Chains A and B, each alone.
Chain A
């Protein structure tokens, strides 16, 4: 498509089922009751000039531009604040209105610079358009009076500027910040002529204020007062492509606005069903990494990791890799080979990597980064509900009455969904937060959790069992739902277990450190407060009892009847953009796409016939098992697409030992990441802007990713995998990801009805898409649970006993370290560290309670040594009471910190998902980096050397 603004209907959509018919300028129109006259006029093809109205926020009625005449009514009401009525006869264009509008416009323009030709909003400005619509020809007042011209712009935000002289004080930015983002950082300071938009206090600028740089204000601004710096620099885009963001599991739809091959800006797309027109600082602005100087665009190889890299042709690199793979297979057998698929890449690319491993290498040693984040979700929800996925769509939160957030920090990790959740909370839904840390949601403007249970890290199962104890013993279960939908005997076993006095909040209080009365109140609220929805994240899964916690959550939802309709459900907030997809695509070593075990001969034979090979019927190795096997000498080669396991996986030194022991490490990535320090082959990857395919977000929504520019490295990632497959004897001939998607649909029952054409037509769809659900399934388990015949399976209650982790505090390591993320950075930071997002978070900090800090003589900003039984690192301390005494917290976005040097080998009992969230540590004052940090930095520099080839004479 070319470049034009997405239509703006002026005021939000009405959800009323009642229809109202009226006449506007002689045209008959029927709209839902509650619709504004402005919106009705725009829906029937007309337009009413306006400045302060935009359909992302409620009508405000301040600009006096949208006045209309209504027969039988006095005066000229504002059409944005006037709801339609049956039989209303509206005139939007009369001489009287024209005169009024022109008069108002004249006042606006008397205090606005007339530099349209050199303005960054030239030809893309609502003020300019409105001036044209009302036929403004003169400003009788002149420009000599008091005005705001010549004021200095606020350039503090790295991505957008605020130019007060271009501001018309319509307050759309303030209202977008309030209503859409929910941060309430902006305000109109002063009154009347003195009104100015202000971020924070008088001393603040946009960067120092509470602004989270989501871009909603920039999106809402009708002029160039709030404008992307990239547009100011590059000019107006000339074409645009709708695509899906590649950051978190929310999966926002954006329009990439382009000039040739240059991305000018990313603008959230209102029709995106995950984000509904909203965005965060990462997806909206942090795309500069795609053209960062660190990006590697030429393939490279080296005989051993102590040598510098040699740039080679694609043929040489693929030949080198294939040669090593074939030699290793001949000497050690297929099970010495493996691969890791990426939750960053598309479904199609992920599917091909696991196909390469299973069909090409001949082993089932395929795993994915979901191993280290949401593998317990897969196990836990499959066991209880029969399918490994969240039960709802994001729209569901609009119908929730009680929202329980456990082990998730949505305002940082899933900001766009958090904004939607906060909107519901401002409407009156109640909030329960279970988290060791006082996350922002607990108390922020206009939001306060009814209950915050600051549990001791590692006691999730104890807390949830205690909640179940209260619900069962106080008779708050939904017996009707359980009888109808679940196995009654299993329920009774579970109910007996949780009812035992040993699971009461009072008995468990010394373990969980959650006040029993508060826990009881929270449990009662969840069971009796109406639609109860549970949202959880890695604070649930990344524990030695991650899978048990997921099942305990499922138990709680079933016991209270909170499954199978909008507003309820169990909702894992997925970390990366395509974690759900990577799991769906058969990335795990024990299962084929659609969660079918490799030992299932029916499923296997489907693939064997399609691919013309025989497949290993035994499960393969998981990532951590691959590393163990490498150290033992039975695992020799790995192909890693788009994951930096050295930085992201626990116990960094063990990962390094495993990689160092291999004969062939192939890294396929955008950058020479930390893992590449141990690689023999580097295959340059492509960004999400450079490829076609699909991502599946946390709500099971399959969304198209569209190529907006040519890959800087020459090839989309699926093409590179195909090169490698063909070099080891595969006969693949895909020419477009749609063909791979067809193969996925052919081989995966839950994807049966999905095709590229269907996605082009519908925009997106939530799996399962099959004969039973041809339009997908926004809410799952409506009539029966997914497992079982015809999708009428019964929910399974699983008794989850609290088993404390073996990672214990003691005299040497008296504190518990837990880890997390921050808004401005994403995962290991490979992308966001290469953008201006570092303005907000230049380094990882260790959060510590004032009491613990004082005991150690530490003050804010001091360097500290953070040591566990596994290793040690240094970083600076931030003293804050957000963490409880005895608990410290840090992020893992920066390789210099290497927070995973201290995390342990402990992992979830069912899936081996690492226990990132609990490490016993000691913190002491420090003078500087540890030996490991210094050695690693030197090693890292050495191993990143590239010997550039001399040009041929």
Chain B
């Protein structure tokens, strides 16, 4: 496994979190997903997903990751 595979895994994780919050509606789901990532992810995982390839992110996950940048 390589760093690229770890990045894929992070994208998968972010999408999975977003998918489970999706039922709350888009806006709330974006906030909840971003909060969840901030609460439970190590800083290097957060930087990796911010700096990584976002092509695989779902709409909610993508917005959540965008919001983490600030």
Chain A positions near chain B (C-beta within 8 angstroms): 335, 364-365, 497, 544-545, 548, 589-590, 597, 599, 618-622, 625, 628-629, 631-634, 654, 657, 799-801, 803, 905, 909-912
Complex: A149 Cα to B28 Cα, angstroms? 79
Closest to A911 in B: B40
Chain B hits for A911, CB < 8 A? 40
The 8 Å CB contact of A632, one of B3, B39, B43, is B3
Taking a contact as CB atoms under 8 Å apart, the answer to whether A632 and B6 are in contact is yes
The 8 Å CB contact of A597, one of B2, B19, B39, is B39
The verdict on A910 contacting B9 (CB below 8 Å), with A589-B42, A799-B23, A801-B20 known, is no
The 8 Å CB contact of B19, one of A628, A631, A799, A909, is A909
Complex: A625 Cα to B40 Cα, angstroms? 11
Taking a contact as CB atoms under 8 Å apart, the answer to whether A910 and B44 are in contact is no
Complex: A240 Cα to B57 Cα, angstroms? 61
The 8 Å CB contact of A803, one of B2, B19, B24, B36, is B19
Task: Tell me how far the C-beta of B12 lies from the nearest C-beta in chain A, rounded to whole angstroms.
Answer: 8
The 8 Å CB contact of B17, one of A335, A497, A657, A909, is A909
Complex: A152 Cα to B35 Cα, angstroms? 70
The 8 Å CB contact of B22, one of A548, A619, A801, is A801
Task: Tell me how far the C-beta of A545 lies from the nearest C-beta in chain B, rounded to whole angstroms.
Answer: 7
Taking a contact as CB atoms under 8 Å apart, the answer to whether A657 and B16 are in contact is no
Task: Tell me how far the C-beta of A676 lies from the nearest C-beta in chain B, rounded to whole angstroms.
Answer: 23
Counting from the closest, the 3 A-B pairs by CB-CB distance are A801-B23, A909-B16, A621-B42
Task: Tell me how far the C-beta of B66 lies from the nearest C-beta in chain A, rounded to whole angstroms.
Answer: 20
The 8 Å CB contact of B9, one of A545, A799, A905, A909, is A905
The verdict on A910 contacting B20 (CB below 8 Å), with A619-B39, A628-B1, A632-B6 known, is yes
Taking a contact as CB atoms under 8 Å apart, the answer to whether B6 and A912 are in contact is no
For the A-B complex with A619-B41, A657-B1, A803-B19 known, give 13 more contacts whose Cβ atoms are closer than 8 Å: A335-B42, A364-B42, A365-B42, A548-B20, A625-B42, A631-B1, A799-B23, A801-B22, A803-B20, A909-B16, A909-B20, A910-B20, A910-B40
Contact mask for chain B residues 4-44; partner A; CB cutoff 8 A; 1 contact, 0 none: 00100100010011011011100000000000100111111
Task: Tell me how far the C-beta of A159 lies from the nearest C-beta in chain B, rounded to whole angstroms.
Answer: 45
Task: Tell me how far the C-beta of B42 lies from the nearest C-beta in chain A, rounded to whole angstroms.
Answer: 5
The verdict on A544 contacting B1 (CB below 8 Å), with A335-B42, A365-B42 known, is no
Complex: A597 Cα to B20 Cα, angstroms? 22
Closest to B9 in A: A628
Complex: A628 Cα to B39 Cα, angstroms? 19
Complex: A628 Cα to B42 Cα, angstroms? 12
Taking a contact as CB atoms under 8 Å apart, the answer to whether A654 and B39 are in contact is no
Chain B hits for A545, CB < 8 A? 20
User: Which of B6, B17, B40, B45 is packed against the most chain A CB atoms within 10 Å?
Assistant: B40
Taking a contact as CB atoms under 8 Å apart, the answer to whether A619 and B40 are in contact is yes
Taking a contact as CB atoms under 8 Å apart, the answer to whether B19 and A590 are in contact is no
Chain B hits for A620, CB < 8 A? 42
Taking a contact as CB atoms under 8 Å apart, the answer to whether B44 and A544 are in contact is no
The 8 Å CB contact of B45, one of A625, A799, A801, is A625
Chain B hits for A365, CB < 8 A? 42
Complex: A589 Cα to B40 Cα, angstroms? 8
Q: Could you pull out 14 A-B pairs where Cβ atoms are within 8 angstroms?
A: A335-B42, A544-B16, A545-B20, A597-B39, A599-B39, A619-B39, A620-B42, A628-B6, A632-B2, A634-B44, A803-B19, A909-B16, A909-B17, A909-B19
Task: Tell me how far the C-beta of A216 lies from the nearest C-beta in chain B, rounded to whole angstroms.
Answer: 44
Chain A hits for B17, CB < 8 A? 909-910
Chain B hits for A618, CB < 8 A? 42-43
Taking a contact as CB atoms under 8 Å apart, the answer to whether A631 and B20 are in contact is no
Complex: A568 Cα to B13 Cα, angstroms? 35
The 8 Å CB contact of B13, one of A497, A654, A912, is A912
Complex: A632 Cα to B19 Cα, angstroms? 27
Complex: A801 Cα to B36 Cα, angstroms? 17
Chain B hits for A910, CB < 8 A? 17, 20, 36, 40
Closest to A801 in B: B23
Closest to A632 in B: B3
Chain A hits for B45, CB < 8 A? 621, 625
Complex: A619 Cα to B45 Cα, angstroms? 10
Chain A hits for B1, CB < 8 A? 628, 631, 654, 657
Complex: A619 Cα to B40 Cα, angstroms? 6
Complex: A647 Cα to B9 Cα, angstroms? 22
Closest to A657 in B: B1
Taking a contact as CB atoms under 8 Å apart, the answer to whether B24 and A631 are in contact is no
Chain A hits for B43, CB < 8 A? 335, 618
Taking a contact as CB atoms under 8 Å apart, the answer to whether B24 and A799 are in contact is yes
Task: Tell me how far the C-beta of B25 lies from the nearest C-beta in chain A, rounded to whole angstroms.
Answer: 10
Closest to A805 in B: B16
Chain B hits for A628, CB < 8 A? 1, 6, 9
Complex: A912 Cα to B43 Cα, angstroms? 17
Task: Tell me how far the C-beta of A535 lies from the nearest C-beta in chain B, rounded to whole angstroms.
Answer: 25
Complex: A316 Cα to B43 Cα, angstroms? 35
Chain A hits for B40, CB < 8 A? 590, 619, 622, 910-911
Taking a contact as CB atoms under 8 Å apart, the answer to whether B44 and A497 are in contact is no
User: Which of B17, B36, B45 is packed against the most chain A CB atoms within 10 Å?
Assistant: B45
User: Which of A589, A590, A619, A801 is packed against the most chain B CB atoms within 10 Å?
Assistant: A619
Task: Tell me how far the C-beta of A408 lies from the nearest C-beta in chain B, rounded to whole angstroms.
Answer: 23
Complex: A597 Cα to B24 Cα, angstroms? 24
Taking a contact as CB atoms under 8 Å apart, the answer to whether A619 and B42 are in contact is yes
Chain B hits for A799, CB < 8 A? 23-24
Complex: A910 Cα to B14 Cα, angstroms? 10
Taking a contact as CB atoms under 8 Å apart, the answer to whether A629 and B20 are in contact is no
Complex: A654 Cα to B19 Cα, angstroms? 26
Chain B hits for A621, CB < 8 A? 42, 45
Complex: A631 Cα to B41 Cα, angstroms? 18
Complex: A634 Cα to B48 Cα, angstroms? 12
Chain B hits for A619, CB < 8 A? 39-42
The 8 Å CB contact of B23, one of A497, A625, A631, A909, is A497
Complex: A909 Cα to B14 Cα, angstroms? 9
Chain B hits for A905, CB < 8 A? 9
Complex: A803 Cα to B41 Cα, angstroms? 22
Complex: A881 Cα to B17 Cα, angstroms? 37
Task: Tell me how far the C-beta of B65 lies from the nearest C-beta in chain A, rounded to whole angstroms.
Answer: 16
Taking a contact as CB atoms under 8 Å apart, the answer to whether A590 and B20 are in contact is no
Chain A hits for B9, CB < 8 A? 628, 905
Complex: A622 Cα to B39 Cα, angstroms? 12
Complex: A800 Cα to B21 Cα, angstroms? 9
Chain B hits for A589, CB < 8 A? 42
Chain A hits for B6, CB < 8 A? 628-629, 631-632
Closest to A365 in B: B42
Task: Tell me how far the C-beta of B69 lies from the nearest C-beta in chain A, rounded to whole angstroms.
Answer: 16
Complex: A628 Cα to B22 Cα, angstroms? 27
The 8 Å CB contact of A590, one of B16, B22, B23, B39, is B39
Closest to A905 in B: B9
Complex: A909 Cα to B15 Cα, angstroms? 9
Chain B hits for A631, CB < 8 A? 1-2, 6
Task: Tell me how far the C-beta of B13 lies from the nearest C-beta in chain A, rounded to whole angstroms.
Answer: 7
Complex: A801 Cα to B23 Cα, angstroms? 7
Chain B hits for A654, CB < 8 A? 1
Complex: A545 Cα to B2 Cα, angstroms? 27
Complex: A911 Cα to B39 Cα, angstroms? 11
User: Which of A545, A657, A800, A803 is packed against the most chain B CB atoms within 10 Å?
Assistant: A803
Taking a contact as CB atoms under 8 Å apart, the answer to whether B22 and A335 are in contact is no
Closest to B4 in A: A632
Complex: A597 Cα to B40 Cα, angstroms? 9
Chain B hits for A800, CB < 8 A? 23
Complex: A196 Cα to B2 Cα, angstroms? 68
Closest to A620 in B: B42
Complex: A544 Cα to B13 Cα, angstroms? 11
Closest to B18 in A: A909
Task: Tell me how far the C-beta of A799 lies from the nearest C-beta in chain B, rounded to whole angstroms.
Answer: 5
Chain B hits for A634, CB < 8 A? 44
Complex: A880 Cα to B63 Cα, angstroms? 50
Complex: A335 Cα to B22 Cα, angstroms? 33
Complex: A589 Cα to B39 Cα, angstroms? 10
User: Which of B20, B39, B40, B42 is packed against the most chain A CB atoms within 10 Å?
Assistant: B42
